[in-house]
Amino acid sequence: HGPYQPHEPGYGLDQPGYSPYEDEIPDPQARLLAIKNAKAYLLKTSTKSGLNLYDHFANILTKILDEQPTNTVDIIENISKDVKWAQFRKKMDTLRDEHLVPPIFEASEKYKALFIKEDGEEEHEELEEEMGQPSLPNVMETAFYFEQAGIGLNKDESYYIFLALKNLINLQPIQTCRFWGKILGLERNYIIAEVQLQEGEEEEEIGEEGEEIVEEGEKEMGDTEEDEQKEKEAEPPKSTYKPPPEIPKEANGTGTNKYVYFVCNEPGTPWVKLPPVTPAQIVCARKIKKFFTGRLNAPVVSFPPFPGNEANYLRAQIARISAGTHVSPTGFYQFENEDEEDDEGADTYEENPEFEPPPVAEMVESLATWAHHVKGILKQGRCVWINPSQKSEENEEQDEDEEEEEGEEQQEERGPPLLTLISEDEGMKDIPAWTAQASTDLIPQYSVAILQSNRWPGAYAFASGRKFENIYFGWGHKYIPESHTPALPPPAQAEFPSGPEITETVDPTVEEEMAFKAAQEEALAEDEEGEDEEEEDD
């Protein structure tokens, strides 16, 4: 190669007297020009890849210095290929890629609030230590026993529910708390906690409801006075239909409203208190079959019409499932008073300190070792029957005959008493009401007795020594051998009996109208002649 030209990258490097080891450069301008030409050559962009050699070398050196691989000189070609592939981009459109949040990150953000310890928790723990009975249930222990039979949730979800119940106890004045179960929905699920509030809180709630009832009574009294005034002005025809008397709901802390229930869709979301259940809601819930959506304010579209929204329907199903599936080993509970054993309306019991648990093999073989500790619900929708036709003394004197007729029709319902053995439960055709089995046959000395309800699929109970628990995982539907058939609509109302007083008359013809008019004129003329004759006589 001859001497470099001024436009070439190596121009100025071949000047006489130049040495790379000398500090002084004979011609600094030529040196700067050579550097600019060399950099300009390295910055030339490729027509194929759109890259230039200068940036490529810089990226290679950066990658080598960051990673510092061994034997770099042997893999320099591979490093160059990796740098080129890292800069490759598909140019399909001008839209930017959406930032995807990993599911693990979303779950951690959702459950992060469960792991934060609040200031009031330490005081609550101290109160529990003083009381001696912690209100927080050991969900993980219960999950362990049910896991022996392959029942329950995964350990992570069980622990999240454990923390969610702890937060509920810290927020609400709860005396006892229990994980009731999980009801599945089409959009979201319901996690349910069964609690007993402190006595003062229950009385306050009852008082508030009583005030509302009083206010409603005052409004009804005002409405009746207005109605009486309107009736004096104009009295339309009165209907003879008498609606059936409304059956009152059971008081808080008794019957179907013995416990209070809180629900949430997922651990970490706020707990929502369900309203008390009424007999009308339970009676209607028996006639319909609806899947839950997971939204408490969702309407329940059904026939017969359900009196409430999904929160009321959920509460009614919880009451039905609890009454039919909550069982305990026979003899674990006993009545507080001996007189209550013969009383079918008894609703209070206590733990028997002298209870000796039967072996697991006996609890699996005989259903007589299990008993219901929740009262059954009558057809009326209550645990304790009430006569809806009872009236005050004044009304009784006025309507004695009506009450005698109604008394013949109304018959008192009697359900099975409390602590009834499950062996007396009726089956469904050839299917028994309950199925009992051991958690394992390989190690019987460490097995657990598992009881499964066939009437309410998803309801289970376990017993191991003095420990037992009930739980529910399902859709909240009762099993029926036949397909569900909705109730038929009531028969159409009969037409009003036809008669001359309601029959429409036929329009008269023109001739009839003229004859009627002529007859009226003659009658008027006769009346005038009669008056004139009377005046002449006077």
Write out pLDDT tens, residues 154-183.
Answer: 999 999 999 999 999 988 889 999 999 999
Pick the last residue of a domain from 474, 492, 509: 474
126 belongs to a structural domain: no
Query: Where residue 4 falls among pLDDT bands split at 50, 70, 90?
Result: low
Q: How confident is the model at residue 2 (pLDDT cuts 50, 70, 90)?
A: low
Residue 382 maps to a domain: yes
Please, are residues 349 and 485 in contact by the beta-carbon 8 Å criterion?
Answer: no
Three-state DSSP at 225 gives helix
- Check whether residue 256 and residue 185 sit in a common domain: yes
Domain boundary (429, 459, 474) is at 474
How many Å apart are CA 118 and CA 395, to the nearest integer?
58
- Which is higher by pLDDT, 274 or 408? 274
Contact 346, 375 (CB under 8 A): no
* Full domain range(s) for residue 256: 134-202+246-386+413-474
Looking at the structure, tell me whether residues 195 and 59 fall in a common domain: no
CA 262 to chain centre: 9
Predicted local confidence at residue 305, as pLDDT:
92
**Confidence bin at 208 (pLDDT 50/70/90):** very low
DSSP state of 353: T
Return the HEC string of 411-428. Answer: CCCCCCCCCCEHHHCCCE
pLDDT over 90 (residue 224): no
Residue 42 lies in a domain: no
Q: What is the pLDDT of residue 388?
A: 81
Are 59 and 198 in a shared domain? no
More confident site: 466 or 205: 466
82-130 tens-digit pLDDT: 888 877 655 555 666 667 777 778 778 888 888 887 665 555 555 555 5
Q: Taking all residues of the chain, what is their mean pLDDT, rounded to a whole number? A: 81
**Positive or negative: CA dihedral 151, 155, 157, 158:** positive
- Any residues with CB less than 8 A from the CB of 252 and at least 6 apart, and which? 202, 205, 206, 260, 276
Q: What percent of the chain has pLDDT over 70?
A: 77
Query: Which residues have C-beta within 8 Å of that of residue 232, sequence separation ≥ 6?
Result: none
Looking at the fold, whether 73 and 138 belong to one and the same domain comes out as: no
- Residues 189, 67 within the same domain: no
Residue where a domain terminates, one of 46, 67, 86: 86
Question: How much is the pLDDT for 403?
Answer: 47
Q: For residues 407 and 403, give the distance between their C-alpha atoms in angstroms, rounded to a whole number.
A: 6
Higher pLDDT pick, 343 / 518: 518
pLDDT at residue 413, rounded to an integer: 84
Percent of the chain clearing pLDDT 90 (strictly above): 40
Is residue 403 assigned to a domain? no
The pLDDT assigned to 393 comes to 41
Query: Tens of pLDDT along 354-408?
Result: 999 999 999 999 999 999 999 999 999 999 988 887 754 445 444 554 544 444 4
In angstroms, rounded to a whole number, what is the distance separating the alpha carbons of residues 252 and 276?
A: 8
Q: What is the tally of structural domains in the chain?
A: 2
Question: If you average pLDDT over each of 40-54, 180-194, 213-227, 425-439, which comes out highest?
Answer: 180-194
DSSP codes joined into one string, 161-216: HHHHHHHHHHHS-EEEEEEEEEE--SS--EEEEEEEE-HHHHHHHHHHHHHHHHHH
Across 121-125, 439-443, 481-485, 496-500, least confident range? 121-125
Is there a single domain that holds both residue 141 and residue 254?
A: yes
Residue 429 vs residue 263, higher pLDDT: 263
**Across 48-52, 198-202, 251-255, which has the greatest mean pLDDT?**
251-255
303/170 same-domain check:
yes
Alpha-carbon separation of residue 291 from 66, 280, 310 (angstroms)? 58, 19, 10
What's the pLDDT score for residue 34? 84
Listed in sequence order, the residues at least 6 apart from 57 whose beta carbon sits closer than 8 Å to its beta carbon are 42
Task: Look at residue 13 in the predicted model and tell me its pLDDT.
Answer: 57
**Would residue 400 count as lying in a domain?**
no
Both 172 and 307 in a single domain?
Answer: yes
Position 428 in a domain = yes
* pLDDT in the model for residue 392: 41
> 469: pLDDT confidence band, cut at 50, 70 and 90?
very high
Give Cα 202 to chain centroid, integer Å: 23
List the Cα angle 192/193/199 in 5-degree steps: 145
| Residues 69 and 164 both lie in one domain | no
The reported pLDDT for the residue numbered 225 is: 52
Domain membership of residue 30 (yes or no) is no
Ranges 7-21, 53-67, 149-163: which has the least confidence: 7-21
Say if residues 281 and 320 touch (Cβ distance below 8 Å).
no
Q: Is residue 297 domain-shared with residue 422, that is, in the same domain?
A: yes
In this prediction, residue 231 carries a pLDDT of: 52
β-pair partners for 309: 299
Does the structure show a pLDDT above 70 at 222? no
Q: How far apart are CA 472 and CA 458, in angstroms?
A: 5
Q: Is the peptide bond before 304 cis (omega within 30 degrees of 0)?
A: yes
Q: State pLDDT tens for residues 290-319.
A: 999 999 999 999 989 999 999 999 999 999
> Do 167 and 296 belong together in one domain?
yes
My answer on whether 73 and 147 are in the same domain is no
Decide the pairing of beta strands 349-351 and 333-335: antiparallel
Lowest mean pLDDT segment, chosen from 47-51, 261-265, 299-303? 47-51
Report residue 496's pLDDT band, with 50, 70 and 90 as the boundaries.
Answer: confident
